[in-house]
Amino acid sequence: MSYQVLARKWRPRQFSELVGQEHVVRALSHALDGGRIHHAFLFTGTRGVGKTTIARIFAKSLNCEKGPTSQPCGVCSICTEIDQGRFVDLLEIDAASNTGIDNVRDLIDNAQYTPARGRHKVYLIDEVHMLSKAAFNALLKTLEEPPAHVKFLLATTDPQKLPITVLSRCIKFNLKRLTPEQIVGQMRHILGAEAVSFDEEAIEVLSRAADGSLRDGLSLLDQAIAHGGGSLAAADVHSMLGTVERAKVRTLLEAVAANDASQLLAEIERIAEFAPDFAQVLDELAGLLHRIQLRQLLDDAAHAEDAGLAELAARIHPREVQLYYQIAVTARRDLPLAPTARVGFEMTLLRMLAFAPNAGTGGSPRAAPVAASRTPAARTAAPNVPTPPTAATQPRSVDGAAANAIVDKVAEPLAATGPLVIGNWQGLLDRAELGGPVGQLALHSVLLGVESNLLRLGVKSAHEHFVAPALVELLGKRLGEVLGRAIRIRIETVSDTIESPADARARASASRQQEAQAGLQSDPAVQSLIETFGARLISDSVRPLEN
């Protein structure tokens, strides 16, 4: 007997067997059981989510010898013939290959005749958006007023291409993409029934590769079982898909957490030997950071038994996790711009290392927070970076006048000894030539005061995402290089009324923009164009001249 692929063998034959389309099943079941059955249905959704499967079960429900019913018996001659694809009153038409008006005319002529075996003659038109304009026009009259014994079931992956006149004559159901969890659940069920041994990581990788399509997932599952010689191992699946095992991705992050550049580059070299899709590796890394953050902040029960995840959650500060995640997803977007995918990937990991606390200090030990950092009492921070204030200990907000008075003090000469006095905060930032994330932190900070070698900086609550321990330490280091002494920084939350350097820049830019628009509006040439030709000035297109 020939082998039947899993996607066909496990194709649902009852509404109760469908995965992830409960909203459609509920509506169709109520229509069937209540006797309120429309004459035309449109099923939309991406490939492999169940459009034609639902249509066939619906046809079986209409014609079952014990129906119409939402629970066809599956054993009568009509149900059997529909399952086997040989029921004469179910006509399946592939619009991708039958696009012309002649095909539709044959359908219309045939529709006038009563069913040969069942109660209803059912027309299932797949990829209906592929019909020509003439074919749609020929179909419209019959679609609007079909004979009582005719039902139309239309399926498409691209409903935007359907004429509005067709859409208005159908009841429309949007089928959802399946979640990885739903696909994993179905794969577990099938593998158990097929007596195939499997690794959890293997089916999780396959479910993500399926990209929302259960049919694609089962096709990949068939391929993976063959690749693994009858079993499903994570290593075989990664080899088949050209992906990287989670253990290798964790090793990368462990090297970053340990501030070990040599180990990090060695791990990248080992991963590169498999010629992986580096974009996918960044996806895996971002997913790992997401799971770590859930463990840190929500005590995520789903990963409670994962000792490796718990160890990383204890070593990396929650704010660093956010920083690394942002670096990973940004690099994922920018990867095509890199000289090569490997270079882009390598620079991403090195960027994480560069922003890590104690980067460039010879790998000195890190004061990493424990997983219990969810509670203020247990929170720790990197050396020389004060603990972020909790709700109970948060410094009082400073009003705008007081903060700006500090900024506007008369500058005094800078020296490496004696009291530290900073007059012009913006001038100091200009001298430090800060860029990237640390530059953003500086621009959104206001100098509140100087205490010995400690700088008190104020940041609005809306910009606290810049206050990562790694960036705070790096800012202190860069300012210390300019000032010629070791600098510590304490971040405090300040009122939204305080103007930061970033706010000042935005205000100046808005002022220049208004001046440019006003200048153009009053220009005689522009006024002449408006009066003569009815032209209008598009404000968004105006750009002030740069100095």
Parse the chain into domains and list their residue ranges: 6-174, 180-241, 246-355, 400-499, 503-541
Contact between 194 and 231 under an 8 Å Cβ cutoff? The reply is no
| Residue 299's pLDDT band (cuts 50, 70, 90) | low
pLDDT at residue 264, as a whole number? 92
pLDDT band per the 50, 70, 90 thresholds, residue 24: very high
- Indicate the range of 44-53, 86-95, 354-363, 462-471 predicted with least confidence: 354-363
More confident residue, 547 or 340: 340
Share of the chain above pLDDT 70, in %: 86
Residue 399 banded pLDDT, cuts 50, 70, 90:
very low
DSSP per-residue codes, 46-109: STTSSHHHHHHHHHHHHH-TT-S-SS--S-SHHHHHHHTT--TTEEEEETTT--SHHHHHHHHH
Beta strands 90-94; 40-44: pairing state: unpaired
On the CB side of 529, CA atoms within 13 Å amount to 9
Would you say the CATH fold of 400-499 matches that of 246-355?
no
Amino acid at residue number 368:
A
Distance CA 118, CA 522 (A): 78
Mean pLDDT of 469-497: 89
Helix and strand counts by DSSP (H, E) for the chain: 23, 8
* Residue 105 pLDDT: 84
Distance between CA atoms of residues 93 and 125, nearest Å: 5
Does pLDDT of 118 surpass 90? no
CATH top-level class of 180-241: mainly alpha
Higher pLDDT, 268 or 409: 268
Measured between alpha carbons, how far is 465 from 485 in angstroms, rounded to an integer? 27
Q: What are phi and psi of 503, to 5 degrees?
A: -65, -40
The model scores a pTM over 0.75: no
Q: How confident is the model at residue 413 (pLDDT cuts 50, 70, 90)?
A: very low
* Cα torsion through 241, 245, 246, 248, rounded to 10: -140
Mean pLDDT of 142-149: 87
What integer is the mean pLDDT of 304-331? 85
SS3 130: helix
Mean pLDDT value across residues 430-457: 88
pLDDT tens for residues 266-291? 999 988 888 888 998 999 899 999 99
pLDDT (mean) for 92-96: 84
Query: Hey, which bits of 239-356 come out as E strands?
Result: none
Contact yes or no for 337/394 (Cβ under 8 A): no
- The set of residues, in sequence order, having a beta carbon less than 8 Å from that of 523 and lying 6+ positions away, is none
Mean predicted confidence (pLDDT) in 133-140: 86
Q: What is the structure's pLDDT at 392?
A: 32
How many Å apart are CA 460 and CA 267, to the nearest integer?
39
Mean pLDDT of 480-499: 89
Q: Which two tokens stand for residue 331?
A: 């690099």
CA dist 257 to 278, 280, 317, Å?
20, 21, 10
pLDDT, average across residues 356-368:
46
pLDDT of amino acid 53: 92
Cα 34 to the chain's mean position, in Å?
40
pLDDT at 188 > cutoff 90: yes
Q: Which CATH class is domain 246-355?
A: mainly alpha
Give the pLDDT band (50/70/90) at residue 382.
very low
Q: What is the pLDDT of residue 391?
A: 33
Of the pLDDT bands very low, low, confident and very high (cuts 50, 70, 90), residue 508 is: confident
Token digits for 442? 């500086």
Give 3-state DSSP helix, strand, coil % of the chain, rounded to 5.
55, 10, 35
pLDDT at 380 over 60: no
Three-state SS for 314-341 is HHCCHHHHHHHHHHHHHHHHHHHHCCCH
pLDDT band at 368, cuts 50/70/90? Answer: very low
Q: How far is it, in rounded angstroms, from Cα 207 to Cα 232? A: 13
> How many CA atoms, within 13 angstroms, populate the side-chain half-sphere of residue 33?
9
pLDDT at 400 over 50: no
- Quote the mean pLDDT of the chain: 82
pLDDT at 25 over 80: yes
Q: How many CB atoms lie within 10 A of CB 487?
A: 20
- Lowest mean pLDDT across 1-5, 39-43, 152-156, 524-528: 1-5
Q: What would the CATH number be for the domain defined by 6-174?
A: 3.40.50.300
Residue 417's pLDDT is 58
Segment 495-499 mean pLDDT = 88
Q: Is a pLDDT exceeding 90 seen at residue 307? A: no
Is residue 228 within 8 Å of residue 236, measured between CB atoms? yes
Q: Please, are residues 176 and 20 in contact by the beta-carbon 8 Å criterion?
A: yes
Instruction: Please report, rounded to a whole number, the percentage of residues in the chain having pLDDT higher than 90.
Output: 35
For residue 499, pLDDT beyond 80:
yes
- What pLDDT, on the 0 to 100 scale, is given for residue 505? 86
CATH architecture of the domain with residue range 400-499? 2-Layer Sandwich (3.30)
Confidence of residue 302 (pLDDT cuts 50, 70, 90): low
